[in-house]
Structure 1
Amino acid sequence: MIHAACHTADEAMRVEFDATPWFEQADPAAIARLAKRGWSAPWVADALEHRTGYEALRDLIRYARDRLEIESREDPSWPTFECRVDGAEATAWLERHRSDIAAEMRRAASRGRDEVAG
């Protein structure tokens, strides 16, 4: 299980859920983008909201869209909800189940360290 949590910008709602189904189906580029963003992105929740068992997540997203987007019209870049995945759990899961992606992420991280050192 890969734990994840979402909360609305106004902190009115918070939901914890299993992000594993997203990792099972996500393309490697999406996983890499999520890791680069500090394991925080709304698209994980967006992808899971219509699945059975994720009704609380669907309610949170509906609330964020229906109530908070109205308030954010003046600044459309304002995020109405945040979603964070447990990075350590995600990395461990990737090592076990999608080792090719984990290996590429390690190589990319190593290249980034080499560029900073050089």
Structure 2
Amino acid sequence: MIRASCHTADNALALEFDATPWFREADGQSILHLAEQGWSSVWVADALEARPGYEGLHRLIGYAATRLRDEALEDPTWATIECVVSQPDATQWLEENRPEIALMLHRQQTEAQAG
């Protein structure tokens, strides 16, 4: 299981969920991009919120879209929700299930440290 958490900008709603389905289906570039973003992105939540078992995530996104809409319209760069994936969970899962992407991540990190 790859743990992830989301919360609304006003902290009215927060939850944890399993991001594993996203990692199973995502292409390598999307996973690398998520890692570059500090394992923080709403894409994972957006991709899973309509699935059965993710009703809480659907409610959280709906709340952010309706209740926090006015603030977001005033400042389009303001994030109404924040989602973070557990980097240790993701790395371990990738090593076990998608080793080619784990290797790409390792190379990316090595290059970033050297450069």
Superposition TM-score, scaled by structure 1 size: 0.95
AA of the residue aligned to 2:48: L
2:15 aligns to what SS in structure 1?
Answer: strand
C-alpha distance in structure 1 between counterparts of 2:106 and 2:56, whole Å = 34
Superposition TM-score, scaled by structure 2 size: 0.97
Which residue matches 1:36? 36
C-alpha distance in structure 1 between counterparts of 2:70 and 2:49, whole Å = 21
Which residue matches 2:8? 8
Which residue matches 1:93? 93
| Residues 34-66 of structure 1: CA deviation (Å, up to 9, x unaligned) | 111111000000000000000000000000001
Say whether residues 1:112 and 2:112 are aligned partners. Answer: yes
C-alpha distance in structure 2 between counterparts of 1:112 and 1:11, whole Å = 33
Moved over 4 A (4+): none
The gaps in structure 2 that reach 5 residues or longer are none
Kindly name which structure, 1 or 2, has the bigger radius of gyration based on alpha carbons: 1
- Say how many residue pairs are matched: 115
Which residue matches 2:73? 73
The gaps in structure 1 that reach 5 residues or longer are none
1:56 aligns to what SS in structure 2?
Answer: helix
1:51 aligns to what SS in structure 2?
Answer: coil
- Give, in angstroms, the shift of residue 69 of structure 1: 1.7
- Give, in angstroms, the shift of residue 15 of structure 1: 1.2
Q: Identical aligned pairs, as a percentage?
A: 53
1:112 aligns to what SS in structure 2?
Answer: helix
C-alpha distance in structure 2 between counterparts of 1:100 and 1:69, whole Å = 40
| Residues 44-91 of structure 1: CA deviation (Å, up to 9, x unaligned) | 000000000000000000000011122221101100000000000000
Which residue matches 1:57? 57
